[in-house]
Amino acid sequence: MDTEHGKVMLTDVYHVPSAAQNLLSLKPLVRKGCTINFGPNGVKMYTSSFELFATCVERLDENQWRLEGVSARQRDRASIAGSTMVSGVTNIAVQHRRFGHPGTTRMQAAINKYGLQDLGAVHVDSCRGCDISKAHRKPFPQRSTSAQERELMEYLHMDTWGPARVPSYGGARWLYTITDAKSKMSWVFFTKTKSAYERFRCFEEFRARYENLTGRKIKYIRVNNGSEFLGIFSEKLKQWAIKVDETVIHTPEQNGVVERLNGTLLETARALL
């Protein structure tokens, strides 16, 4: 599309040369990064780099304006493939896809190498393809830096594993594991269900026994956001003034101490069988 302010390439449009007039909708332009300003002197259209590319002075009705000084022509495929006249409407986003979704540094190198023009400032906005295919989770620390600073029985890691496909002779299908952050001493409890009540009964007996044996109070427990640690379990922890340190949902790495214990227990059981 040739305007008095320059040239703009529009994509995903229907162009009918023989029609008496063609309509240019503003909503698709806005979706492609353009800015539309309505004022007393008409409508002004800007590219994503805020460069003026078209104006409308004459108003036809409430929703239509006449775009003056514009001529539209369809480019052939060869011309489109080699064209860089995408002054903000499709500009850097189109070239970003054509070059295989490179980052900003590689995109700048490609522009310098192939002599692409009229792209304006080189910066790649959020690309859905890149967001999905290039997303990475940063590595977690291999061990807690505060573990050595804690006292015995002060900080406990807890988790639940199950259900097992085959129940035990006693009918248990779940494992409830507890690990002390300081000594790495671990305890395993077998339960028939995943209910908060069964977890509470196991922890209540564990707390009474080992606080008495060690003479130390349990201050923190590290758990995931599982429902087995809610209800009566959560209420009793508040009464005992034990702080619950919850992990981020779907992030077992944040409770890796007891997660590794679960893996060790299952591997040992398979080996014995």
**Mean pLDDT, residues 219-228 taken together:** 86
Structural domains present in the chain: 2-129 (no CATH), 147-272 (3.30.420.10)
> Higher model confidence: residue 17 or residue 42?
42
> Higher model confidence: residue 87 or residue 227?
227
- Rounded CA-CA distance 13/95 in Å is 18
Nearest to 84 by CA among 106, 99, 70: 99
Contacts of 149 (CB under 8 A, 6+ apart): none
pLDDT, position 142: 60
Tell me the pLDDT tens digit for each residue of 20-65.
667 777 787 788 778 888 877 778 888 776 777 777 877 777 677 7
Threshold 0.85, pTM exceeds: no
pLDDT, position 87: 40
Q: Which of 11-15, 66-70, 147-151, 269-273 has the lowest mean pLDDT?
A: 147-151
Query: Does residue 165 have a pLDDT over 60?
Result: yes
Instruction: Using alpha carbons only, give the angle 151, 153, 156 rounded to the nearest 5 degrees.
Output: 110
Q: CA dist 53 to 17, 20, 41, 178, Å?
A: 21, 23, 16, 66
> Higher model confidence: residue 103 or residue 124?
103
Q: Which helix (H) or strand (E) segment is 58 a member of?
A: strand 52-59
Q: Which of 18-32, 76-90, 148-162, 172-186 has the lowest mean pLDDT?
A: 76-90
